[in-house]
Amino acid sequence: MKTATLLSLLLIGVIGSSCSQTKNSSVKGPAGYDLSKPVKYSMPAELLEISGIAFNNGDNSRIYAEQDEDGEIFYFRPGDKKVSYTKFGKHGDYEDVAIIGSRAVMLRSDGKLYSLALNQVNSGKLTDIKEFNGLLPKGEYEGLHADQPANKLYALCKQCPGDKHDKECSGFIFNVSADGSISKAGNFKVDVRRISELSGKKKLKFHPSALAKNPLTKQWYILSSVNKLLVVADESWNVQQAYPLDPGRFLQPEGIAFDKQGNLYISNEGDPLSNGDILLFKYTKGK
């Protein structure tokens, strides 16, 4: 009787484990995206430490990017082996790029913003540069996104003294004028406790590295390299989903963007053994 009971319990455990694995393997990403099947674009040596990426109005014929160490904005067609760049600043820790109206905006990790004339970026001769200190509170920042239709910028704090990152993360909203001036327009919060609940990671301290708005669903996609998570929130920042990222595929995910077709792009910094890359996840309607 004891042997039969033991066998029954083992059988139940195997079935339960199998069902659990089946359930988890079926969740490959947000609706419309399979995070297990990317198109991979390897970056040249100049972009080993690629961080933020952005498109101009979702036009995927040219992607803008920056890397962590130098004040240079890069631009190229995904898949190009050679990339062009324009210098805008001194050596520093630059983390993200956004394109809004006729401007490119660069984010330094300490919260300093640089507004650049986009036509001059593309010509390689940049003189129209505006710098903004003090718009963002003291802290460490990695995520910047431009909502072109609304003419607004969104910045998300990775590590801010006023935040308890096991409870919430602070975000900030800005207006951008035609001449490139940037002004405060509001703020928002991301509920980390909800992320912890959905991800199953107890006492999670969330440190976001990038954000972008899906043009098809209007949802916010928030990337965390430290936590290896992709978080999805609605237009009002209510967290809806959290997806673990395979560290074998996402070496150091630092940038995120969508093109106007709704295709998802995630950039990864490289290391001494691997190139930096951009992973393209094509949108599939009805997935």
Q: How is the chain split into domains, by residue range?
A: 37-281
pLDDT for the residue 162? 83
- DSSP codes, the chain: -HHHHHHHHHHHHHHHHHHHHHHHHT--SSTT--TTS-EEEE--GGGTTEEEEEEETTEEEEEEEEESSSEEEEEE-TT-SS-EEEEEE-S--EEEEEEETTEEEEEETTS-EEEEEHHHHHHT----EEEE-SSSPSSEEEEEEEETTTTEEEEEEEE-TT--TTTEEEEEEEEE-TTS-EEEEEEEEEEHHHHHHHHT-TT------EEEE-TTT--EEEEETTTTEEEEE-TT--EEEEEE--TTT-SSEEEEEE-TT--EEEEE--BTTB--EEEEE---TT-
Task: Give residue-wise pLDDT tens across range 233-269.
Answer: 999 999 999 999 999 999 999 999 999 999 999 999 9
CA 67 to chain centre: 14
Looking at residue 166, its pLDDT comes to 93
Residue 24 has pLDDT above 70, yes or no: no
Q: 69 pLDDT band (50/70/90 cuts)?
A: confident
Q: Is the pLDDT of residue 62 over 70?
A: yes
Question: What is the per-residue pLDDT across 76-125, written as a single tens digit (0 to 9) for each?
Answer: 998 898 999 999 999 999 999 999 999 999 999 999 999 999 999 999 99
Q: How confident is the model at residue 22 (pLDDT cuts 50, 70, 90)?
A: very low
Q: How far apart are CA 109 and CA 160, in angstroms?
A: 11
Res. 25: pLDDT tops 60: no
pLDDT band at 286 (very low <50, low <70, confident <90, very high): low
Per-residue confidence (pLDDT) for residue 287, from 0 to 100? 57
Is residue 27 very low, low, confident or very high in pLDDT (cuts 50, 70, 90)? low
CATH topology of domain 37-281: Neuraminidase (2.120.10)
**Biggest CA pair distance of the chain:** 85
Q: What is the mean pLDDT of residues 9-30?
A: 43
Q: Residue 68: its pLDDT value, please?
A: 85
Residue 13 has pLDDT above 90, yes or no: no
User: 149 or 123, which is more confident?
Assistant: 123
